[in-house]
Structure 1
Amino acid sequence: MPVGANGKVSVSPYLGAVLLSGKGRTWHTPDGELVPLKSITWRARANVRDHDGRTRRVEAWGRSAAAAERRLQDKLTVRKRSASTTITAETCLEVLADYWLRTKVDNGKLAVNTRQRYRYTTEGYVVPGLGGLRLRECTVARLERWIADEAAEHPANARLSLTCLKGMFDVAVREDAITANPARSVTPVPATAAEDVRALSVPEVVELRAALAGDRKATAADLGDLVDLMLATGCRIGEALSLRWHETDTAEHVVYLTGTVVREKGVGLFRQDTTKGKKPRGLLIPEFAVQMLERRSTAVPDNELDLVFPTVHGGLREVTTVEAQWRKFRERHAEWTWITPHTFRKSVGTAVERGADIEAAAKQLGHARSAVTAKHYVAAPDLGPDHRAILEKFGRSH
């Protein structure tokens, strides 16, 4: 027998310790004495090969043959679970998905937003699409077809779904439920072509800051000051909202980005004490941002969380709330409809790359690889580099 499997179940009638013989509703002792049905107890028995490789006999009793067999099956199920076979080849994918989310995603070291994206994708796409398949039925071909169909409609979701499937099947391999991870043989979903990066020019920034300063609702929502901080650092909006006064040093022109604001289902809104890049970073800020912080230090009431941008009640502000306030500002100023809070990060990346180089821009934005900065955060120049002196030699006459 395979490890964890059981042999054929046998069910026998007894009167006390005496094995009875007969069939149907007629049973008697070895001496031929007829035994009433209500006096009979039934024993169900099967051999099971435990996970140490040894075969043992397991039995259960009941007032009927069916009851004894049910109790035996319950004991066998408990025995298999306690022997650590949480996941087997017969397990449905939806069970594996739940196990993976609970044991590897929720209890892992992933950022809160990453955990939530994995759960949303798994529960919203993977389980509805594949959850009823047993693991042995999850062939490369089946997964390939499903991922391809998803990619045709939602390429980003298909890409993340494949990432989740790889994680799930890695668990199944470690549990000895399957011998290889089928998701790792599925054709990767190609990345969608990156849209052209659009960044604010210096004249546009001047004009936008003036518009923010002259908008009463924007001023009440601190949008101008938030934009100044993002333009001075290239930080994300959640990082700006989590900035605390003790992480600023206006005398030295420095702010330290150490966390971000997130909302987690079942937990609520809180300050996550790590940034998306995991590493805190200190950034030198220009004079206009220093002046903004010094002004706020006297204007903003003290709050228990020591926040630079608290709510009116001194608590954390929601990223989604600020994004909604920004959309309202754009509705009032149609010329800025193309700008999102992330545009300021792109504008910083572009400005630093033009003034220094791509490596400096990557460090400013907290990227581990400059390729990410170049692809997503630096606008292409309108005019190529001036290499006329180099190329002029092609036009020389003999």
Structure 2
Amino acid sequence: MGSHGQINRVPYYNGVKLIGEGKTWTTPDGKTVPMKKIRWAAQCRFRDHDGRTRKVEAWGSSGAEAERRLRDDLTIRKRTSSDTITGDTRLEVLADYWLRTKIDPSGLAVNTRQRYRYTTEQYVVPGLGGLLLRECTVSRLEAWVAGEVEKHAANARISLTCLKGMLDVAVREDALTANPARSVTPVPATTSEEVRALAVPDVIALRTALATDEKATAIDLHDLVDVMLATGCRPGEALALRWDEVDLTRHVVYLTGTVVREKGVGLFRQDTTKGKKPRGHLVPEFAVRMLERRAAEASPGALNLVFPSERDGLREVTTVDRQWRTFRERHPEWTWITPKTFRKSVGTAVERGADIEAAAAQLGHSHSAVTAKHYVARPAVGPDHRTILERFGG
């Protein structure tokens, strides 16, 4: 079910099927018909979800156009007939069903949903889509995943996650008795690079460089960096900050959303952060002074943003990334720093001044292990325990 036969292109004139080839076509009585007056039909037979085979067709001003329209119609028709999953369903059909019914309407973050769709369509379907579900054995999946690991381990890891998700659906639909992807050897996490953060003197020097760079100040880059240094927020969260989430009296900034771009939707403010929970941060005096200055100078637009674009709309995270790279080109001493470095610097500073739990809370992490592994730089010299160890000296 959900498959079609050979597609044929057929020329017609006034409802009459023409005879000929190439650019020469005539009616059955021998009358030549100009190409511009011909209407084309693309036709084939399709097996519907009820098991019956039917003739389907689409029309166009050329054979190619008619076939394109027919293939589009077949895609829609195939989806309609694919909602019954069996062992003879192809993996590509299951993948489409999983994305449409499980991922798209889910409560996952926009970027997560887009990553699952991209990975499924660009890697899983081209690599395994032609297999029937009953052909998706552990050994076949194991071999494919191993091959993907050699190309790009991170893509292989997400691909395996997608396979597990879609084949779980096949199990629930009784198309499979067990999920073979769950027996595939897990893809090991890539070794994390050593966390590198800015020390206090470096932060002071960098803020001075930003404040004295006319091009950086013209695009508010210095103020944007100050918000990230004062809260540990992500760039998208800083760009989503609104004035009604800034309490200058209490010196509190509330992070309640982030800026994302979704295919087919465009750029918008997602009213949840990556961690799904809003966070309120008491901010230091340097950030309060900056926000007070901006509040005095600002004329809030329709979106009430603290860092609006030139047209008073949302700013792209990718635009800020590009602006930061341009700043680094003018100041090569900061080449190693990315916007994520500010978040790592905040995590490291709070861990040094308080503890790892405080750093995790500052960054909005549910577990401090993530903070320790990815956001806190290791000290060059360990803690001073000489008094304790001196006992060994007798």
Name the counterpart of 1:251.
249
State how far apart, in whole Å, the 1-side matches of 2:240 and 2:163 are: 33
State how far apart, in whole Å, the 2-side matches of 1:75 and 1:103 are: 21
Q: What secondary structure, in the 3-state scheme, does the structure 2 residue paired with 1:379 have? A: coil
Q: Residue by residue, what CA displacement relative to the aligned partner does 1:39-90 show, whole Å, maximum 9, x if unpaired? A: xxxxxxxxxxxxxxxxxxxxxxxxxxxxxxx899875359xx9999611111
State how far apart, in whole Å, the 2-side matches of 1:103 and 1:152 are: 32
Name the counterpart of 2:268.
270
Q: Given that residues 140 and 183 in structure 1 are in contact (C-alpha distance below 8 angstroms), is that contact kept between their aligned partners in structure 2?
A: yes
Name the counterpart of 1:180.
178
Match of 1:145 among 129, 143, 146: 143
Name the counterpart of 2:110.
112
Name the counterpart of 1:167.
165
Match of 1:320 among 318, 321, 343: 318
Specify every segment of 5 or more residues in structure 2 that has no aligned partner in the other structure, as ranges.
2-44, 54-78
Tell me the TM-score normalised to structure 2 length: 0.80
Q: Residue by residue, what CA displacement relative to the aligned partner does 1:142-185 show, whole Å, maximum 9, x if unpaired? A: 10111111111200000000000000001111111111111111
Name the counterpart of 1:331.
329
Q: Give the deviation of 1:107 after TM superposition.
A: 0.8
- Distance 1:286-1:77 versus aligned 2 partners, 3 A rule: farther
Q: What secondary structure, in the 3-state scheme, does the structure 2 residue paired with 1:76 have? A: coil
Q: Give the deviation of 1:312 after TM superposition.
A: 1.6
State how far apart, in whole Å, the 2-side matches of 1:153 and 1:357 are: 39
- Distance 1:284-1:90 versus aligned 2 partners, 3 A rule: same
Q: What secondary structure, in the 3-state scheme, does the structure 1 residue paired with 2:260 have? A: strand
Q: Given that residues 85 and 175 in structure 1 are in contact (C-alpha distance below 8 angstroms), is that contact kept between their aligned partners in structure 2?
A: no
Q: Give the deviation of 1:98 after TM superposition.
A: 0.6
Match of 1:76 among 51, 70, 95: 51
Q: What secondary structure, in the 3-state scheme, does the structure 1 residue paired with 2:387 have? A: helix
- Residue pairs, 1:60-139, within 5 angstroms: 75-77=50-52, 86-139=84-137
- Distance 1:83-1:195 versus aligned 2 partners, 3 A rule: closer
Q: What secondary structure, in the 3-state scheme, does the structure 2 residue paired with 1:270 have? A: strand
Q: Give the deviation of 1:394 after TM superposition.
A: 1.1
State how far apart, in whole Å, the 2-side matches of 1:226 and 1:72 are: 58
- Distance 1:255-1:203 versus aligned 2 partners, 3 A rule: same
- Residue pairs, 1:1-398, within 5 angstroms: 75-77=50-52, 86-396=84-394
State how far apart, in whole Å, the 1-side matches of 2:239 and 2:126 are: 36
Q: Given that residues 344 and 375 in structure 2 are in contact (C-alpha distance below 8 angstroms), is that contact kept between their aligned partners in structure 1?
A: yes
Aligned length: 328
- Distance 1:393-1:277 versus aligned 2 partners, 3 A rule: same
Identity percentage of aligned residues: 75
State how far apart, in whole Å, the 1-side matches of 2:81 and 2:257 are: 42
Structure 1 stretches of 4+ with a deviation exceeding 4 A read 70-75, 81-85
Letter in 2 for 1:203: P
Letter in 2 for 1:247: E
Mark the structure with the bigger radius of gyration.
1
Q: Give the deviation of 1:393 after TM superposition.
A: 1.2
Letter in 2 for 1:254: V
Tell me the TM-score normalised to structure 1 length: 0.80
